[in-house]
Structure 1
Amino acid sequence: MGRRHSCHRCNQSCGPGTAASAGNHRVLLMGMPNVGKSVLFGKLTGLNVAAANFAGTTVEYTAGTATFGGQHCELQDVPGTYSLQAGNQAEQVAVQMLNDTPDAVIVVLDALNLEAGLALLLQIQRFGIPTIAAVNRIDLVDPDTINLEHLERHLHGIRCVAVSAVSGQGLATLRQVTAEQLTYNAPSRNKEPELEDFDPWPAAEAAAADALGGSDGHSHTSVRRTWDHRLVAPMPGIPIALAVMAAVFTVVIGAGMGFRRFVLLPLLRGALFPAITTWISALPLPDAATAILIGDYGVLIKGIEWPFALVFPYVISFYAAFALLEDSGYLPRLAALLDGIFRRLGIGGSSVIPLLLGYGCGIPAIMATRALPSRKQRLIVTWLVCLSVPCVSQTGAFIALLAEYSLGLLGLVFLISIAVMITAGLLLDSLLPGASPGIVLELPPLLPPNGRIIGKKIWMRAHSYLYDGAAPMIVAILAAAVLYELGILYWIGTAMEPLVTRLLLLPSEASVPLLMGIVRRELTVLPLLDMQLSTIQLLTGSVVALLYIPCIAMVVTVARELGIKIAIAVLAGTTLTAFAGGTVVAQLGGILLH
């Protein structure tokens, strides 16, 4: 069974002794992002590992048991990296794992982009560790266009195996070659190699040219490169990006709303909830217990309706659309297209990846900032994710609250989100010290999405939502029901009444979602569904919820990644921004209406 490690936080050696259950050998799986490394890892170990077709999703490595020639070994999926210059945390983790002297290294190369992968391979070779090159995506190139014998001649003893991680082609040969390296070779390095003055590109270029023999390796390369240029150029790249985002928005709202309205709500409100209410009412329970179960915040009613009927449909539709963009290879092209705009915010196009991850969940988005080249960029992106990027659960809550009332109002909330992001980025770029160096962003090939992999991703992320999203939400609803029956929520509402009713112009019971939102971000939105709010109040409540403090899990992640002081600053900054933004919307709206 596989185990997750966080190597950069571990002060002990990750050598063979840490994998006693997996045998005496430890093998690293390395390569650049977007080369199919995670898919190959899943095939070799049998673990359920999502294959994201863009950089930044494998910052924490995964370990599992793989069998090579009858030998059970620990296989470690090293964070994807473009080089070993240790310019960011992903590269630092990769170098540390190589310094722990594994028994062998499998380096995954992309058959569609040999040269860049060979440059990384030549750096790894200098560590003196038995190395195997797995030339992946061999099924996407024309037969016999890559001469592996010529390639091995340039690599001086490194065995090269043609594989396809998706189809499983060549995996048996890869297992056998790895077993031979483990049997007949041993690590020979005695000291850490010097990589700062080593330039691998001339040798990589010569090796790739000889292996390809003058061929480009792919019959559709010219067409693919033409579309690569079009998608990253302002014209027609920007119109295409707007069309893609509009399509995603339409799919998320349309599919989620249809499933919610025509399947889940009729089932729950028409059948399940009346049965639960009848059954609980018939039990000889105290009035307080009955209210906690089926009252205003009844855990058996709201604890089912909010996470499963109001949020879950949009979670599924969002991740389905996001998986299509991932697997097609479009997301890195969107990052390259937006690079010029994002550089004005001090973060660069590579920051698009963690920002987009934030629309799924803020926790992996913050963790993905490890791949950014400077602490300044990490701080800016983390602030933007915490301040103005709604996660998919909160987005679903916004859609449930606003879409049926007014799609224009829903669009306005997201325009405010973008405006706050731009303003905050410009402000942080001018205030935070340090430089924002550029980073190379490799573009994976444009490929038709794989239905099996997409289904696997949707299943895994839905499963994750049930544990990390729905379960904490149900606990928070139960706590709110208990506090409501004890009168504590009424006391809190009375204490916060000057802020909520006079500045935000919301009803006093709107203080409840502000308290519940500390646990889950979407809980700042969902309780508003049961309040009779005007248009301005809906907009005010949505703006406050959008900018409000991130959930507890995100705050803990910020503290762990960037320090407790940054986490406290995020708490204070988001709270002040939320109430300031809500006050402006409420007061300005009141003046206009008056």
Structure 2
Amino acid sequence: MNCCEGLKIEIPKGANKIVLAGNPNVGKSVFFNALTGMYVDVSNFPGTTVDISHGKFGKDVVMDTPGVYGVSSFNDEERVAKDVIIYGDIILNVVDALHLDRDLFLTLQLIDMGKPIIVALNMMDDVERNGIKIDVDKLSEILGVPVIPTVAIQGKGIDEVKKRIYDAKLGKMHPKILEYLEGIKDKVQLQSEALMVLEDDEEMLNNYNLEPLNLREEIYRLRRQRVDDIVSKVVLKDYDRSTIRQKIGYFMLNPITGIPLLIAVLYVIYKVIGVFVAGTIVGITEETIMQGYYEPLIKNIFSNLFGGNSALFRAFAGEFGLFTLTPTYVLGLLMPLVVAFYFFMSLLEDSGYLPRIAALTDKVLSFFGLNGRAIIPIILGFGCITMATITTRLLGTRREKIIATALLGLTIPCSAQLGVIAGMIAPLGAKYLLIYLTTIFIVFALTGTILNKLLPGESSYLFIDLPPVRIPRLSNVLKKTWTKTWMFLKEATPLFALGALIITFLNETNLLIYIQNFFAPFTVNILKLPKEAANAFIMGIIRRDFGAAGLTDLVLTPEQTVVSLVTITLFVPCIASIIVMFKERSKQEALSIWIGSFIMAFLVGGILALILI
């Protein structure tokens, strides 16, 4: 199996490859966790930034594919899903029962692939809540495969799915599509590959050196007609009643009511995370616990081992030490912020509001070559740029990921930096706050617009599921928060450790002083700031709040304060974010963004200095 070789997944001899497939936000992860238990691994799919979760169910291997609306090659998620599904042995298709007219399109495509399928008809509680009744037995009869009603988040139907997973059957195909398949079955190895050829999948056509048959639109039309026919037969009663939740969902999407609501939600998130967590909680975890108790203990241990003035002591337990800076940064500073952000993101996602935020902001973000999905890493960026850069993986195309990464690194201050910036600019009054916000917004808009014009290719359109508005389940929210936090910390901690080693090396070799001296003339002549401000900018590379805090020690006029804060916001992000940037993007792309942020910071800061000072 090609996909498993690339993913380095070990397939035991005689084991089945059980593949989970479904649209986004249908609850596949709940079924995956139920099947695999704790024996879960994650692999990065070759040539993409898409992760595939895989684990064991008995002697068989279970793989969870990205949520897609169809099997094709229009973006990374679909390519990955296609490459896993077409070589799967059993397909567990998770379907949102409330959106049969949408989800059954993928179900019929899977049936046309000639795969044994079992359907989990999930979210049946939403169906009942909306006054709809579905004839599950008739749906199973029409499709020709087992259909099991479930409410996954409540555990209903999960055991039935596990018991009947091997009852998966080949479904009933559309006669015309079957006729088309018969015509080319001798030219390919598998029926699933034959269907991809019929649907003009470029990768499959190239693999078999075949010319397009131009049947994609015809097959899609036949499949859509069949979906509509099935829905008309199995949806027995639809009261079409407008519930309070439906009205709330409408208000969330309507710009007149949705934008004020979004501003209010973001303000609450900022007050909780940017003020309470970043201030009070981090004050306890970083200053009291890590710096007050943990670091003195570590310094004492390594002082006894290597001596308090040795290079080894400074490498392991010094100001930028591997066992001082890294744990303090990750556990004391970052972990409270990451937990808080993922908790709110899980709340927004579980309530159905996060997809509506994406839909609401889609039109605005399209001017910058992004779609509404980009609002998620942008929001996360106000918590941690490192975390936000990793989440650019959810964007559909390479150009979108480049634009989003550049905007994050250039214009979004993280929560640690934001607190210091707010503390410095608030006493200056509304005039200087407006200058700061306007400057950053102009840079954001110009950078996004220019990159959108210059980068080749096209950005993807927003195709996003709008699930029903619901009250979040606390157990589900906490589980998502823990899972995402753990994955982030596991991925980011080695990068912070590497950053600490790099800074220690620069410090020990006095290269840090040379770098500071190099930037001092730019600081004085271009930004019209004291030469000591160069130290703050360089320390901002180590930690963004170190840089912002370094400005508080300088005697600055209000105009110089605004110039310095704009410059340090636009200046390169912290070293951990830089390392993640190089990990997520190509070396050329990451280097261009990194050098571009240097140039942009001094250019904009210099222009602002000419105007104000």
Q: Do both share a fold (TM > 0.5)?
A: yes
Give 2:70's match in structure 1, choosing from 61, 83, 86.
83
Matches within 5 A, 1:274-313: 285=307, 287=309, 289=311, 305-313=328-336
User: Residue type matched to 1:431 in 2?
Assistant: L
2:226 alignment partner in structure 1? 203
Which of 134, 155, 158 lines up with 1:146 in the alignment? Answer: 134
Q: Structure 1 93/414 Cα, relative in aligned 2: closer, same or farther at 3 Å?
A: farther
Contact 2:426 2:433 (C-alpha < 8 Å) held by counterparts: yes
Displacement of 1:171 in angstroms is 1.6
Amino acid at match of 2:25: N
1:213 aligned residue (213, 236, 249)? 236
Which residue of 2 is the match for residue 7 of structure 1?
none
**CA deviation after TM superposition for structure 1 residue 397, in Å:** 2.0
Deviation at 1:226, TM superposition (A): 2.1
1:229 corresponding residue in structure 2: 250
Aligned residue for 1:331? 354
Find out whether 1:24 has 2:15 as its counterpart. Answer: yes
Q: Relative to structure 1, is the Cα distance of residues 284 and 146 closer, same or farther in structure 2, using a 3 angstrom cutoff?
A: closer
Asked whether the 8 Å contact 1:16–1:26 carries over to 2, the reply is: no
1:445 and 2:468 aligned: yes
Q: One-letter code of the match for 2:269?
A: V
1:338-357 equivalences under 5 Å are: 338-357=361-380
SS at match of 2:91: strand
Q: Is 1:401 aligned to residue 420 of structure 2?
A: yes
- Alignment partners' CA distance in 2, 1:408 and 1:444: 44
Shift of 1:342: 2.1
Residue 21 of structure 1: how far off its partner (Å) = 4.0
Q: Which residue of 2 aligns with 1:265?
A: 287
CA separation in 2, counterparts of 1:269 and 1:420? 37
**CA positional deviation for 1:79:** 1.1
Q: SS in structure 1 opposite 2:161?
A: helix
- Hey, what does 1:107 align to over in structure 2? 93
| Structure 2 residue corresponding to 1:575, chosen from 592, 595, 598 | 598
Indicate if the aligned counterparts of 1:327 and 1:449 stay in contact, CA closer than 8 A.
Answer: yes
TM alignment of 1:237-256, pairs within 5 A: 237-256=258-277
Shift of residue 140 of structure 1?
3.2
One-letter amino acid of the structure 2 residue matched with residue 364 of structure 1: I
| Cα distance change, pair 389–21 in 1 and its aligned pair in 2 (3 A) | farther
Q: Distance between the aligned counterparts of 1:190 and 1:464, measured in 2?
A: 33
Q: How far off its partner does 1:537 sit?
A: 5.7
Match of 2:394 in 1: 368
How many pairs are equivalent?
558
Determine helix, strand or coil for the equivalent of 1:496. helix
Q: How many Å separate the matches in 2 of 1:19 and 1:452?
A: 33
Query: Deviations for 1:338-367, whole angstroms, at most 9, x for unmatched residues?
Result: 222223333333433454455552333332
Q: Which residue does 2:448 correspond to in 1?
A: 425
1:98 to 70, 73, 85: 85
* Residue 162 of structure 2: aligned partner: 175
Contact 1:105 1:130 in 2 (8 A): yes
1:41-80 maps to which residues of 2 (within 5 A)? 41-47=32-38, 59-67=50-58, 72-80=59-67
Q: What corresponds to 1:503 in structure 2?
A: 526
Tell me, in whole angstroms, the C-alpha distance in 1 between the residues paired with 2:440 and 2:21.
Answer: 38
1:173: Cα distance to partner?
Answer: 1.6
- Contact 1:312–1:396 (8 Å) recurs in 2: no
1:436 Cα deviation after fit = 4.4
Judged with a 3 Å threshold, the aligned counterparts in structure 2 of structure 1 residues 339 and 492 are, in CA distance, closer, same or farther, namely: closer
CA positional deviation for 1:189: 2.3
Residues 3, 84 of structure 2: 8 Å contact kept: no
1:490 partnered with 2:513? yes
Deviations 1:285-311 (CA, angstroms, capped at 9, x unpaired): 363557667766567765565554444
The percent identity for this pair of structures is: 27
Distance (whole Å) between structure 2 residues aligned to residue 555 and residue 490 of structure 1: 20
Q: Could you tell me which residue of structure 1 aligns to residue 29 of structure 2?
A: 38
The answer to whether the 8 A contact 2:341-2:380 is kept is no
Go from structure 1 to structure 2 and tell me whether the alpha carbon gap of 1:293 and 1:86 turns closer, same or farther (over 3 Å shift): closer
- Corresponding letter in the other structure for 1:248: I
Letter of the 2:32 partner, please give it.
F
Q: Against the structure 1 CA distance between its residues 265 and 103, is the aligned structure 2 distance closer, same or farther, given a 3 Å change threshold?
A: same
Question: TM-score scaled to structure 2, two decimals?
Answer: 0.78
Match of 2:547 in 1: 525
Q: Contact 2:403–2:451 (CA<8 Å) still a contact in 1?
A: yes
Amino acid of the structure 1 residue aligned with 2:351: S
Report SS of the residue matched to 1:525: helix
Supply the distance in 2 between the matched residues of 1:368 and 1:385 (Cα, whole angstroms).
Answer: 15
CA drift of 1:47 comes to 4.2
Aligned-pair CA distance for 1:328: 1.3
Name the amino acid aligned to 2:604: G
Matched, 1:166 2:153: yes
The residue type equivalent to 1:258 in the other structure is T
Contact 2:315/2:501 (8 A) holds in 1: yes
Distance 2:582 2:403 in 1: 15
Question: What CA RMSD, in Å, does the superposition of the two structures yield over aligned residues?
Answer: 4.0
Contact 1:59 1:80 in 2 (8 A): no
How far apart in 1 are the matches of 2:71 and 2:422? 48
- Aligned CA distance change for structure 1 residues 555 and 282 (closer, same or farther; 3 Å): closer
> Which residue does 1:122 correspond to in 2?
108
1:380–1:428: 8 Å Cα contact kept in structure 2? yes
Residues 584 and 107 (structure 1), Cα distance of their counterparts in 2 relative to 1, 3 Å cut: same
CA change 1:527–1:481 in 2 (3 A) is: farther
The structural deviation recorded for 1:404 is 4.2
Shift of 1:128: 0.5
| 1:493 counterpart letter in structure 2 | Q
| SS in structure 2 of the partner of residue 323 of structure 1 | helix
Q: Which moved more, 1:18-27 or 1:146-155?
A: 18-27
Q: Match of 1:192?
A: 194
Are the equivalent residues in 2 in contact too, given 1:125–1:131 (CA < 8 A)? Answer: yes
- Check whether the contact 1:521–1:551 (CA below 8 A) recurs between aligned residues: yes
The CA distance in 2 between the partners of 1:16 and 1:340, in whole Å, is 37
Note if contact 2:363-2:372 (Cα within 8 Å) is conserved in structure 1.
yes
1:137, 1:238 → 2: CA distance?
29
TM-score, length of structure 1 as denominator length: 0.80
CA drift at 1:584: 3.4
Which SS does the other structure have where 1:581 is aligned? helix
After superposition, the Cα gap between the structure-2 partners of 1:14 and 1:149, relative to the gap in structure 1 and judged at 3 Å, is farther
Q: 1:562 to 1:453 in 2, by over 3 A?
A: same
Q: 1:307 to 1:563 in 2, by over 3 A?
A: closer
CA distance in 1, matches of 2:340, 2:302: 34
Any stretches of 5+ residues in structure 2 without a counterpart?
42-47, 173-188, 200-215
Contact kept, 8 Å, 2:409 with 2:573, in 1: the verdict is yes
User: What stretches of structure 1 of length at least 5 have no aligned partner?
Assistant: 1-9, 51-56
SS in 1 for 2:69: coil
Alpha-carbon distance between aligned partners in 2 of 1:89 and 1:24, rounded to the nearest angstrom: 27
Higher RCO, 1 vs 2 (CA within 8 Å, ≥6 residues apart): 1
Give the 3-state SS of the residue equivalent to 1:192 in structure 2: helix
Distance 1:285 1:363 in 2: 39
Aligned with 1:133: secondary structure?
strand
